[in-house]
């Protein structure tokens, strides 16, 4: 279908191109009767303004706030996201996109809320966020809605919001994949330990969904009949991890596999190596520390969700929404990526 131009409207209305431009962009003096005529013809011809071209002409700077956990130490997964964001900004040139990073301490509700207030005070054009803390994220989204600031989710999806798009894993399906990997290599009678390195598991949406998917697999089709033991460890200090896991293994000698529901799989791998345990270990994300234990044979499988690709797509999709007021894809689940010693090529 041919795009309607200002020139086409001018010809049909029998006025100048300049007059149509003044009417459509609400600038300059135009007789009321002429204005009404031009608007009527524009509507009749289904005129759609080329907002992207206008953005280039006006050289508008699009200000995007990014709310994600601070990466580093045992939380290295989140170091990858800024790389994807910067790649997107570079590729969007000559459009001007300005990124304001608001980094919060993972599982720290107070810090998350402080960063959300900073964003609201800065009034960005749009927001990209990882809504890991469900209750606080919903509260923030309601405030964004009230200020009509569009937002996109990465990594984690929560309903009860008006996010314009989501890019990340299907956490429930990721949990089922992890279960199938363990089920394939584990004797049916062995127990399975599920380790959640989180301060408030109930409020951590993506970990909950992974666990739900994991358990659903065994209810539906898994052959394993052993116990599924769940533990929540709020910190990654090795002494705390050792004490907690020592107690569990002393009481449950039948554990044959461990699932770590987060990217901090290397924390549990350290324990497994230290105690020389002969267990299947499955976890998440292709980080440098996780890959080191994968190559050693301590971690058997990792499930990845390509964080750089996630964040790169999020910037481009939010830019698309800001410039066209529409979105090409509301939900994009990243393909489940299974990594073992034979497939690892990243490090």
Q: Where are the beta strands (DSSP E) in the chain?
A: 61-69, 96-104, 126-129, 151-154, 165-168, 191-196, 228-232, 255-260, 280-284, 301-304, 331-333, 337-339
Domain co-membership, 300 together with 315: no
Domain co-membership, 165 together with 185: no
**Predicted local distance difference test score (pLDDT) of residue 53:** 61
Domain co-membership, 185 together with 91: no
Is 342 within the bounds of a domain? Answer: no
Backbone phi, psi, residue 183, to 5°: -60, -35
Outline where 297-337 has alpha helix (H). Answer: 307-324
**Predicted local distance difference test score (pLDDT) of residue 153:** 97
Kindly report, residue by residue over 261-273, the tens digit of the pLDDT.
999 999 999 999 9
Domain co-membership, 125 together with 233: no
Domain co-membership, 216 together with 298: yes
Domain co-membership, 42 together with 142: no
Is 1 within the bounds of a domain? Answer: no
Is 101 within the bounds of a domain? Answer: yes
pLDDT of residue 55 exceeding 70, the answer is no
Average pLDDT over residues 69-77: 87
Return the minimum-mean-pLDDT range out of 139-153, 192-206, 217-231.
192-206
Return the minimum-mean-pLDDT range out of 50-54, 229-233, 251-255.
50-54
Query: pLDDT-based confidence at 121, cuts 50/70/90?
Result: very high
Enumerate the β-bridge partners of residue 68: 103
Kindly report, residue by residue over 222-248, the tens digit of the pLDDT.
999 999 999 999 999 999 999 999 999
Q: Where are the beta strands (DSSP E) in 6-164?
A: 61-69, 96-104, 126-129, 151-154
Is 80 within the bounds of a domain? Answer: yes
Say if CB 179 and CB 162 are below 8 A apart: no
pLDDT of residue 54 exceeding 70, the answer is no
Cα–Cα dist 256/271, whole Å: 15
Kindly report, residue by residue over 282-306, the tens digit of the pLDDT.
999 999 999 999 999 999 999 998 8
Give the rounded percent of residues in the chain with a pLDDT score beyond 70: 94
Considering only the C-alpha atoms of the chain, give the largest distance between any 2 of them, rounded to a whole number of Å: 88
Domain co-membership, 217 together with 294: yes
Domain co-membership, 195 together with 292: yes
Domain co-membership, 29 together with 62: no
pLDDT of residue 260 exceeding 70, the answer is yes
Kindly report, residue by residue over 170-179, the tens digit of the pLDDT.
999 999 999 9
- In sign, the C-alpha dihedral spanning 266, 271, 275, 277 is negative
Say if CB 205 and CB 154 are below 8 A apart: no
Q: Into how many domains does the chain fold?
A: 3
Cα–Cα dist 241/236, whole Å: 6
Domain co-membership, 61 together with 163: yes
Is 343 within the bounds of a domain? Answer: no
Residues 6+ apart with CB under 8 A from 34: 13, 15, 19, 23
CATH code of 41's domain: 1.10.260.40
**Predicted local distance difference test score (pLDDT) of residue 2:** 67
State yes or no: cis peptide before 305, omega within 30 of 0.
no
CATH code of 153's domain: 3.40.50.2300
Give the rounded percent of residues in the chain with a pLDDT score beyond 90: 70
pLDDT of residue 51 exceeding 60, the answer is no
Say if CB 89 and CB 251 are below 8 A apart: no
pLDDT of residue 347 exceeding 90, the answer is no
Cα–Cα dist 249/38, whole Å: 78
pLDDT of residue 13 exceeding 80, the answer is yes
**Predicted local distance difference test score (pLDDT) of residue 52:** 58
pLDDT of residue 136 exceeding 80, the answer is yes
**Predicted local distance difference test score (pLDDT) of residue 85:** 97
Query: pLDDT-based confidence at 346, cuts 50/70/90?
Result: low
Domain co-membership, 288 together with 233: yes
Domain co-membership, 27 together with 104: no
Edge to edge, the sheet with strand 151-154 lists 96-104, 61-69, 126-129, 151-154, 165-168, 331-333
Is 346 within the bounds of a domain? Answer: no
- Structural domain boundaries enclosing 134: 56-169+307-334
Greater confidence, 55 or 343? 343
Query: pLDDT-based confidence at 44, cuts 50/70/90?
Result: confident
Mean pLDDT of the chain: 91
């Amino acid at each position: 279908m041919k795009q309607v131009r200002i020139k086409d409207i001018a010809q049909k209305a029998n006025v100048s191109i300049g007059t149509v431009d003044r009417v459509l962009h609400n600038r300059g003096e135009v007789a009321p009767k002429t204005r009404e005529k031009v608007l009527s013809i524009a509507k009749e011809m289904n005129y759609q303004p080329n907002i992207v071209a206008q953005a280039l002409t006006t050289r508008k700077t699009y200000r995007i706030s990014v709310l994600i956990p601070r990466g580093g130490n045992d939380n290295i997964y989140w170091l990858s996201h800024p790389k994807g964001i910067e790649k997107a900004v570079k590729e969007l040139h000559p459009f001007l996109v300005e990124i304001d990073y608001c980094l919060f301490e993972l599982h720290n509700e107070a810090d998350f809320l402080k960063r959300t207030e900073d964003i609201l005070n800065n009034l960005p054009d749009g927001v990209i966020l990882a809504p890991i803390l469900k209750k606080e994220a919903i509260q923030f989204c309601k405030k964004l809605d009230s200020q009509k600031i569009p937002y996109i989710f990465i990594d984690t999806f929560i309903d009860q919001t008006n996010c314009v798009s989501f890019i990340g894993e299907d956490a429930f399906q990721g949990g089922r994949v992890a279960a199938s990997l363990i089920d394939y290599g584990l004797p049916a009678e062995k127990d399975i330990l599920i380790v959640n390195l989180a301060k408030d598991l109930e409020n951590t949406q993506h970990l909950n969904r992974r666990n739900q998917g994991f358990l659903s697999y065994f209810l539906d089709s898994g052959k394993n009949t052993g116990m599924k033991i769940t533990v929540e460890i709020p910190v990654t200090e090795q002494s705390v991890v050792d004490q907690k896991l020592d107690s569990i293994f002393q009481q449950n000698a039948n554990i044959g596999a461990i699932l770590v529901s987060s990217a901090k799989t290397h924390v549990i791998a350290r324990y497994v190596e230290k105690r020389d345990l002969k267990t299947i270990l499955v976890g998440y994300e292709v980080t440098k520390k996780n890959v080191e234990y994968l190559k050693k044979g301590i971690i058997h499988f990792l499930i990845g969700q390509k964080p750089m690709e996630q964040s790169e797509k999020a910037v481009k999709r939010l830019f698309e929404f800001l410039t066209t007021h529409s979105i090409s894809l509301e939900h994009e689940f990243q393909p489940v990526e299974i990594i073992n010693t034979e497939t690892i090529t990243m490090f």
